[in-house]
Amino acid sequence: MTKLKPMMMMLLTLLSGILYAQTVTIDRSTQRFLGTVSTLDRAKYFTLHSNSNDADVQTFFNDYNVTKGRGFWGPYSYAKSQTGSVGTYPAYKGGSTAVRNVSRFISTEHPKNVVRWSADKVAGANWAVEYWKNFVDDAGRAEFFEPMNEPFVHAGDPEFSAEQPDQALMRERMAEWFGEIGLKIDQSPELANMKVVGYASAWPSMELWDFGHWNTRMKMFMDVAGQHMDAFSVHLYDGINVTGQDNRRSGSNSEAILDLVETYSNVKWGTVKDHAITEYGGIESGYGSDYSDIANAQSVKAINAILFNLLERENNMAISIPFITDKSTWHINASNNYQPYGAVLFKPSNIGQPNPTGWTYTPRIYFYELWRNVTGNRVDISTSDPDVQIQAFADGNKLYVALNNLHSANKTVNLNLAGGTGQVQNVRIKTLKIYDNSNPVFSDNTQTSAPSSITLIPQETAMLEYTFSNTASFTNAIRSTKYYSTAYLQAISANTAIPFTFNGVTTGTGKATLRMSISRKHNVSKSPVVKVNGTTVAVPTNWKGYDQANREDFFGTIEIPVDMSLIQSNNTVTVTFPDNGGRVASMILQVEKYDNPVTVNDSFVFTNPPTSLPSATSYDFDVTYSASQSRDLIVEFWSSTSWLAQTTVTVPAGNGTTTVTVNLSSAPPAGSGYIIKGSIRPVGGDWTTSLDTDQVNNVTVVANQDLFAFSNPPAELPSKTTYNISVDYSASQSRDVVVEFWSSTGWLGQGTTTVNAGSGTATVAINLGSAPATGTGYILKGSIRPVGTDWTQNIDTEQVNNITVTANQEPYGGTAYAIPGVIESEDYDTGGSGVAYYDATSANSGGSYRTDGVDLEVCGEGGYNVGWTANGEWLEYTVNVASAGTYQVAIRYASLSATGNIHIESGGTNLSGAISLPATGAWQTYATVNATVTLPAGEQILRVHITAGNINLNHLTFTSSGGARLTHESKSSEELIIVYPNPVEDGKFTLSIPADALGASYVLYNLQGAVMLSGRLEDVQTALDVAALKPGVYMLQAAGEYRKIQIK
């Protein structure tokens, strides 16, 4: 297309500037406190998941101002190594009564080395005290002891189920051990410097089963062991962590998880105990089993995103550990093809070899590069968009401003330095862009002037290091305090107010926010009526991060601004939803109060004021404002002579940027002299009460032209009776968009779509009486014309000549094969020779199954196989790929004596490389060879190209590569799913899974990808009734793995 797209691109550029500008404000003259904490304690955040003494690791610690984080060793692993059994401990040594020094790291252990159902918890706890007092030196004595790592997901492991098959009881027993260990260490003056944390929740989906997960996991743990815990530990991951849903916890979900833990801590003990985030990050999937820098970098997106949440809780944060490991040399072995572990900071310089010859940093070093120099005291900050996260620290003449974009679209952020900051000498700007399918880009540049704005791509993090001519001098302070209600997990009933009380609140000038965490189904409201002391406050429709649509329920925190003038010493907040279902998990009132009263002037200004606009009935304008209290923002649209329309938006006290949409009854005619007027007023006031105004004069409205163009002009079309043709248009008023289909000799058919005034893309359907014959010389003619007229009234036209109509290629059976899934070789596409396959002979040498030229025979493993293959033959399969990524392909084949060779391609591109298929010794003795391919999401055609024949092909099985975070104790894939009997007998089979997959879903597909059965696995053994299904081969997916099921 040549005519229309430049115009449409111009409009897109204009509107994107209007829609996405945000503002952050940093006041270097005002010190910020979280409770009593202002100074950044780097040891709480910038750690490594390692306590190694390796020389390279020690150099890294020193160079990047990073501390040790976490290691897998402790009293119980040591005892087992000495005695050979769990629950048996070495003889005590005894020692002095002096208080022992500690080193700052976390010691943790695998549950199987710690506990048994019948083991004596008191003896075990006493041994932990003895070990930490007398069996290690100061360097080996951990400040934090986390007795078991992720114990509850292992409660059904054989080590425990042999004595106690009831996992709920086993979880309670594990919690009792945590409590007893904490008690004994509390009672040991020599270990006064040690802290016990738990329970290392691997799967903190608190909201599942109407908070049944919360009640039987974290709440149970807090009730049983919490009194003797110094901090509560959870693991926060974007992705699937061992088990559970595909979650993105960064943003509102992780906020809600930690808010609920804080709330219950306050309810139970009247104080908020610390958090210990002993693992957090992202779990990448779809990148194959071999190491890649692209895959390694993915987790850093989540690490940065979650870090901003944790930094906001420093006054309640004991320690946090990003899941970045050291060299993880345990993973470099033959079974892993001598590949590095995916989470490492160091990779061998000779990847794929058994003995590393040197080490280099992986892209995870960029996390530490970004935050390398950051130190100092917090300063006052604000952001107009919850998806733009911000942190700021002042240290001498340095100001560090960190920004993170949680949104899936680019964000342009206006940078407002307030408070008389002094002269900027230079700004060092470090940014980290991480892409799904290409290497990350880390930039580090210095400029002499302060930038007015910065644009962040999705999930990008930027660090701006300002150097000023003067040292920061604080003239005020703002102190953040959270007030917790005793009401939590409140059930939601339609039109019923839920009350929360907050008493003893310190009032003044500043900012107030209600942190409302809710769990609700996606089809009900997230916008209740919220009243603070009887006054309704606006509930935002935006929150941190994504909409959680891929989770079963929304569980997240929505931050509601509240005018400080509404806050009293004793407060009542009510929340009323219009519909039933879900719960308000927690409600926290956060008040940020200035030490010295601050007066905010009311101001209004247009952000990126437009000079021209298209003729339309709706316009979006961004405005930047300051409001001393709750105010109305008004935007008016005028012609040169009269008012046309206006919109009012009410905003809370404070500074920010918001979008105001003005709707007109009809599109204004083209011309100049239009005016955009804006103002800020008291709530409910009129133009006479305006406190500040801004005006954009002489705006030009551009007329819409009548234009037509094919969106993607085709060179080929399949032979069929219906075509859906995409076209781009611009219409000055309601118009007909027409597409005609012609042969080289005459008109065959046409379709018409009527469009409204404006620009866009439309689909025009052409229905033919019969499918056109294959051949060349076909023509598409397109036009835009007045509604109801014929070709003589065409205003604009475009024509595509010399289109080739090809034989229609369709998936066999009508439905594309699903990937992940199994492709049966005999079910290649329809369309005939040269279209869906090429076979060296014209007849089916096997005489089975299908009547065209591919050679098929009955397969000894059931079904049919492709045989009599020759060099150069190929078969094509239409597939539907669930998600973009790298897939493992298992080729099931047989060969008498020759070594065959195939490859998998798409669109002429070899995706797999050469795949060698060694002889199996007989035509019906089958073997499996594995390869990998990287595929985009969606429907596409794969070709299996036989470069060396004399092989039989049975099927190809595609499974997603990667996805699970592996540990030393990870089970092989063959152990993850056990299905018996297979083939199925009497219409039933049993699905057995490991305990750490509980809560995962299962899906049974037919070979065309249709779902036959689905559900959730709540037990380690689940019986499935398939008597109603017809005999055949099916695919079962559970816990991320696949099995082939035969039903007779």
Which amino acid makes up residue 616?
A
- In whole angstroms, what is the distance from residue 608 CA to residue 993 CA? 57
Check if the beta carbon of residue 321 is closer than 8 Å to that of residue 144: no
- In whole angstroms, what is the distance from residue 173 CA to residue 153 CA? 14
Which amino acid makes up residue 301?
K
The pLDDT assigned to 236 comes to 97
Query: Among all chains, which residue has been given the structure tokens 């039903």?
Result: 1047
Nearest 5°: the CA angle 54, 59, 64 is 130
The pLDDT assigned to 964 comes to 32
Q: Give burial (CB, 10 Å; 0-12/13-18/19+) of 473.
A: exposed
The per-residue pLDDT for range 938-973, each reduced to its tens digit, is: 899 999 999 999 999 999 999 886 433 323 233 333
The pLDDT assigned to 1016 comes to 64
**Active-site residue among 143, 180, 207, 279?**
279
Q: Sign of the C-alpha dihedral, residues 266, 194, 43, 375?
A: positive
Could you tell me the domains of the chain? 22-32+376-474 (2.60.40.1180), 42-370 (3.20.20.80), 479-594 (2.60.120.1200), 603-702 (2.60.40.2550), 707-806 (2.60.40.2550), 817-960 (2.60.120.260), 978-1047 (2.60.40)
> Does 150 participate in catalysis according to the annotation?
yes
The pLDDT assigned to 475 comes to 95
- In whole angstroms, what is the distance from residue 367 CA to residue 695 CA? 44
Closest CA to 718 of 833, 805, 776: 805
The pLDDT assigned to 376 comes to 98
The pLDDT assigned to 1005 comes to 64
Q: Sign of the C-alpha dihedral, residues 70, 71, 74, 77?
A: positive
The pLDDT assigned to 375 comes to 98
Q: Give burial (CB, 10 Å; 0-12/13-18/19+) of 1031.
A: exposed
**Active-site residue among 109, 143, 150, 876?**
150
The pLDDT assigned to 1022 comes to 75
793-800, long-range: CB within 8 Å, 24+ apart, which pairs? Answer: 795/706, 795/708, 795/735, 796/3, 796/706, 796/707, 796/708, 797/708, 798/1, 798/3, 798/708, 798/709, 798/710, 800/710, 800/713, 800/714
Closest CA to 710 of 190, 1, 50: 1
In sequence order, the β-bridge partners of residue 894 are 952
Closest CA to 823 of 780, 881, 873, 782: 881
The pLDDT assigned to 991 comes to 72
In sequence order, the β-bridge partners of residue 1036 are 1004, 1043
Contacts of 202 (CB under 8 A, 6+ apart): 150, 152, 153, 235, 241, 242, 243, 996
CA dist list (Å): 270 to 227, 517, 1031: 12, 20, 62
> Does 180 participate in catalysis according to the annotation?
no
The per-residue pLDDT for range 103-132, each reduced to its tens digit, is: 999 999 999 999 999 999 999 999 999 999
The pLDDT assigned to 1033 comes to 67
- In whole angstroms, what is the distance from residue 516 CA to residue 546 CA? 16
- In whole angstroms, what is the distance from residue 262 CA to residue 909 CA? 54
**Residue ranges, the chain, pLDDT below 70:** 1-21, 240-247, 420-421, 653, 704, 961-983, 985-986, 992-1003, 1005-1011, 1014-1021, 1030-1035, 1037-1048
